[in-house]
C-alpha cells in the first residue's frame, strides 16, 4: 500500500495481500491480501511526527491482517456471492481511506488522464484480483489461496523482464523463478497428477496473483512522477474499483434476501482492516523503514493464512503444502535480489 522513501516511489498495497515488485516502482495500494498485498506512491511523504507504536508492532499487525484476509474471504463467501464480498470489501476499504484523507485534508487527484490510468490500476490491482480470490475460495481452501498469492513476486519478475527493459535478469533471479514455480508444483501435488485439486479454483487464485504485477507495471509506466500523494492516489483507486464492482455485481448476482451476520462481519473486517486500515499501516511502514523492509511482510502472509485456515476453519494440511510454500517463498526471495545481493525495492499484495 504505501509510501515512498529516498524521494522515490515504491508501490502497491492493500490486498489481501501485498507483494514485492520491481525496482523503482510506484506504490499502488490495495492489493494484497488480496496483498493483500496490494497505492500509487509517487511523492515522498512530508515529514511527520514519530508514530506512537514501534514499527515492528505495526509490521506484525499488517502481517496478521493480510494473512487472515484469506480466511475472511472464505467466511464471507459462505453467506454472500463472491462479487458481493468484493464490493463490500472495496466499499468499507474506501470509507477508511476517505476518513484518512479528510483527517489529513488530502484531495482526490485531478485530471482525466490521471483518473483514466487509475481506473486501469483499480481493475488490475483491486477489482479483478479481489474478485478472482473470492471466486476461487468457493472451491479451494483458504490455505491454498494464500500460498497462490505468494507467487505474485514470481509473476512480477517474469513479466518485468519482458515489459521493463531496465529490469535485467540475473542468474540468481532466474534461478529463484525456477525454484518458485517448482514450489508451486509441490503445493499442487504435481507428482500425484494434481489429485483432488479443483483446477478452476486454483487457476483463478493464480490469475489473481498474476493480476497484481500487471497492474504494478502499468502504474510504473503511467503514474510515476504524477506529483500526487500516495494517499490521494490510493483513495481514488479504491473509489474507482468500488464503482467498477458496483456496476458489475448487479449484472451477475441478485440482492441478498437476508444478511448473514458472521459473513457480513467478515466482509466488513476484510474491507475496513484488510484493505483500508492495512493500506495506511503499509504506507507508514514504507515511509519509516523503507520499502525493502516493509515488503518482507509478503513472506509472512502465506504462513499466517495457512495457520489460520487450519486452526480456525479446520482445513486439512498435508506435508506438501508447507514444504511447497517454503520453496515458493525461497524462490520469491531470490527473485527480489539484485547485484551485490541487495534486495530490490518493492514496487505492491490478498
Neighbours of 263 (CB within 10 A): 21
Residues with Cβ within 8 Å of 18's Cβ and at least 6 positions away in sequence, in order, are 1, 12, 31, 32, 33, 35, 36, 37, 38, 66, 282, 295, 297, 298, 301, 346, 348, 349
Going by pLDDT thresholds of 50, 70 and 90, the confidence category of residue 278 is very high
Residue that wins the pLDDT comparison between 169 and 235: 235
The more confidently predicted of residues 63 and 133 is 133
Per-residue pLDDT at 246 exceeds 90: yes
pLDDT above 60 (res 17) = no
pLDDT at 229: 86
* Sign of CA pseudo-dihedral 155, 158, 163, 169: positive
Closest C-alpha among 338, 336, 238, 340 to residue 295: 336
**Confidence tier at 338 by pLDDT (50, 70, 90):** low
Work out the pLDDT band at 174, boundaries 50, 70, 90.
confident
Task: Round to the nearest angstrom and report the end-to-end CA distance of the chain.
Answer: 12
Position 15 scores a pLDDT of 41
Question: Which neighbouring-strand residues pair with 337?
Answer: 343
Task: Select the more confidently predicted residue: 94 or 323.
Answer: 94
* Measured CA distances, 34 to 67, 138, 169, 315 (Å): 9, 15, 27, 20
- Does 221 have pLDDT greater than 90? no
Rounded Cα distance between 275 and 282, Å, is: 11
Q: What is the pTM of this model?
A: 0.80
Q: Give the residue with greater pLDDT, 199 vs 129.
A: 129
Read off the pLDDT of each residue in 211-221 and give the average, rounded to a whole number: 91
Contacts of residue 286, Cβ cutoff 8 Å, sequence gap at least 6 = 2, 3, 4, 5, 10, 27, 41, 294, 346
Residues found in the chain: 350
Angle at 29 between CA 51 and CA 58, to 5 degrees: 30
* DSSP E strand boundaries for the chain: none
Return the C-alpha cell found at 200: 478452476
Which residues, 6+ apart, have CB-to-CB distance to 271 below 8 Å?
Answer: 88, 89, 90, 91, 92, 93, 95, 96
Q: Which three cell numbers stand for residue 116?
A: 483514466
Average pLDDT, the chain: 80
Q: Which residue has the cell 484493505?
A: 275
Q: What is the pLDDT of residue 3?
A: 34
Cβ atoms of residues 41 and 11 within 8 Å: yes
Q: Cα separation of 308 and 315, whole Å?
A: 9
Q: pLDDT value at position 165? A: 59
Query: Is the predicted pLDDT of residue 302 greater than 80, yes or no?
Result: yes
What local confidence, expressed as pLDDT, does residue 155 receive? 87
What is the per-residue pLDDT for 96? Answer: 96
Residue 307, phi then psi, degrees to nearest 5: -60, -40
More confident site: 248 or 153: 248
Name which residue leads in pLDDT, 36 or 63. 63
**Is the pLDDT at 256 greater than 50, yes or no?**
yes
Phi, psi angle pair for 343, to nearest 5°: -70, 150
The answer to whether residue 32 scores a pLDDT higher than 50 is no
Task: Answer yes or no: is pLDDT of 105 > 50.
Answer: yes
Q: What is the mean pLDDT of residues 282-310?
A: 81
Q: Give me the residue label for grid cell 453467506.
A: 79
Amino acid at each position: 500500500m504505501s509510501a515512498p522513501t529516498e524521494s522515490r516511489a515504491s508501490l502497491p498495497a492493500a490486498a489481501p495481500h501485498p507483494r514485492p515488485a520491481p525496482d523503482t516502482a510506484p506504490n499502488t495500494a490495495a492489493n494484497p491480501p488480496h496483498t493483500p498485498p496490494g497505492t500509487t506512491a509517487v511523492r515522498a511523504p512530508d515529514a511527520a511526527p514519530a508514530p506512537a507504536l514501534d514499527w515492528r508492532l505495526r509490521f506484525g499487525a499488517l502481517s496478521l491482517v493480510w494473512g487472515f484476509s484469506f480466511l475472511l474471504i472464505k467466511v464471507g463467501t459462505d453467506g454472500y456471492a463472491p462479487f458481493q464480498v468484493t464490493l463490500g470489501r472495496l466499499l468499507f476499504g474506501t470509507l477508511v481511506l476517505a476518513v484518512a484523507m479528510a483527517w489529513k485534508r488530502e484531495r482526490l487527484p485531478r485530471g482525466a488522464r490521471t483518473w483514466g490510468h487509475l481506473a486501469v490500476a483499480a481493475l488490475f490491482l483491486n477489482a479483478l484480483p479481489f474478485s478472482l480470490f473470492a471466486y476461487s475460495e468457493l472451491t479451494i481452501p483458504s490455505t491454498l489461496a494464500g500460498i497462490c498469492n505468494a507467487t505474485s513476486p514470481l509473476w512480477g519478475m517474469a513479466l518485468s523482464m519482458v515489459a521493463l527493459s531496465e529490469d535485467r535478469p540475473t542468474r540468481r533471479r532466474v534461478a529463484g523463478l525456477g525454484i518458485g514455480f517448482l514450489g508451486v508444483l509441490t503445493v499442487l501435488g504435481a507428482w500425484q497428477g494434481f489429485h483432488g485439486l479443483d483446477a478452476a479454483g486454483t487457476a483463478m487464485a493464480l490469475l489473481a496473483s498474476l493480476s497484481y504485477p500487471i497492474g504494478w507495471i502499468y502504474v510504473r509506466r503511467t503514474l510515476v512522477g504524477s506529483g500526487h500523494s500516495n494517499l490521494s492516489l490510493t483513495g481514488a483507486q479504491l473509489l474507482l474499483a468500488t464503482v467498477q464492482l458496483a456496476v458489475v455485481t448487479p449484472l451477475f448476482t441478485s440482492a441478498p434476501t437476508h444478511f448473514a451476520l458472521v459473513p457480513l462481519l467478515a466482509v466488513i473486517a476484510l474491507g475496513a482492516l484488510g484493505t483500508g486500515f492495512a493500506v495506511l499501516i503499509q504506507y507508514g511502514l514504507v515511509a519509516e523503514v523503507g520499502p525493502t523492509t516493509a515488503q518482507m511482510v509478503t513472506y509472512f502472509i502465506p504462513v499466517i493464512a495457512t495457520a489460520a485456515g487450519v486452526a480456525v476453519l479446520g482445513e486439512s494440511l498435508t506435508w506438501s503444502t508447507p514444504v511447497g510454500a517454503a520453496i515458493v517463498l525461497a524462490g520469491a526471495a531470490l527473485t527480489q535480489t539484485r547485484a551485490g545481493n541487495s534486495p530490490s525495492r518493492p514496487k505492491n499484495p490478498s
